[in-house]
Amino acid sequence: MLDAASIPVANGGICVDEEDLDEVIRKIGYPIVLKTLDGNHGKGASINVKNREDAVEGLAYAKKYSHRVIVEKFITGYDFRVLVIDNKLVAAAKREPAHVKGDGKNTIQQLIDETNKDPRRGYGHENVLTQIDVDRDTTDLLEKLNYTLETVPKKDETVYLKSTANLSTGGTSIDVTDMMHPENIFLCERISRVIGLDICGVDIMAENLTQPLKENGGCILEVNAAPGFRMHLAPSEGLPRNVAAPVIDMLYPPGKPSRIPIIAVTGTNGKTTTTRLLAHIVKIMVIKLVSPHRMEFMFKTI
């Protein structure tokens, strides 16, 4: 859809087996990225794959999380997330993958343990940052550097532990909302209209957002229908953005007359239970307000 609208995207295709994989690679060449079509939190992703052996292994890894796998051209640059609500840009953040900085004394595992002591880090979405866990992605990245968890990095050396910059895998964020070029703002707002989402997170890979993407070669990697707000509400660096307010303004426009009440439920756990309880309460209230004759008619109709 974005390609048809002349919006820059990474070339690629969808695979379900090795035959599909070979066909896409013939079309776009190496290096490539493999990721799940219907996954989340960066699960199953393999980045900067340069040969068929690793590509086949990456396909198998992604298929643990999704039957269909996206294979795209590997694009270099920084990872940016732009949040658009009600077709208007409200925040932008530069995301950094989970990493540790060497001190010349401690091993990578010790540095991870020390980083995880940060009180802002928790499990899942309970805190503004997430604990860094060691997984296949971590060991693969270290292996490419000929490192292990027992390696002692040089002083001030940055060692990246994840190939994706998701906050859910331990990444951090820097607010860059005020640095965006007007053309990039217009592009992201146009994307939300092309896709047809009231709330969307646009993932951009580029050297920066201060220049138009057409000038620095940046492109759109993903459009997320359920983007996280943590990176904007509490960035590791920069100005926090109250991105919840535009959502409420969209749901309840100030001064707009309304006849049908809307109940919005938000949170991390228990949303479904709360929604069902509210629905049951409203149903009981409606039945009590309806006359016996009308209620009998309703049940007969049902």
Q: What is the CATH number of the domain that holds 14?
A: 3.30.1490.20
- My answer on whether 120 and 228 are in the same domain is no
pLDDT tens, position by position, 200-234? 999 999 999 999 999 998 999 989 998 989 899 99
How far is Cα 194 from Cα 188, in angstroms, rounded to an integer? 10
Q: Give the HSE-up count for residue 12: Cα atoms under 13 Å, Cβ half-sphere.
A: 23
- Counted domains in the chain: 4
- My answer on whether 19 and 141 are in the same domain is no
Could you tell me if residue 33 is inside a domain? yes
- My answer on whether 124 and 244 are in the same domain is no
pTM of the model: 0.74
Could you tell me if residue 148 is inside a domain? yes
- My answer on whether 239 and 255 are in the same domain is yes
The residue segments making up the domain with residue 117 are 98-161
pLDDT tens, position by position, 245-292? 999 899 888 787 777 777 888 887 888 899 999 988 888 877 766 655
- My answer on whether 127 and 31 are in the same domain is no
- My answer on whether 82 and 59 are in the same domain is no
- My answer on whether 251 and 284 are in the same domain is no
DSSP characters over 191-225: HHHHHT-SEEEEEEEES-SSS-HHHHT-EEEEEES
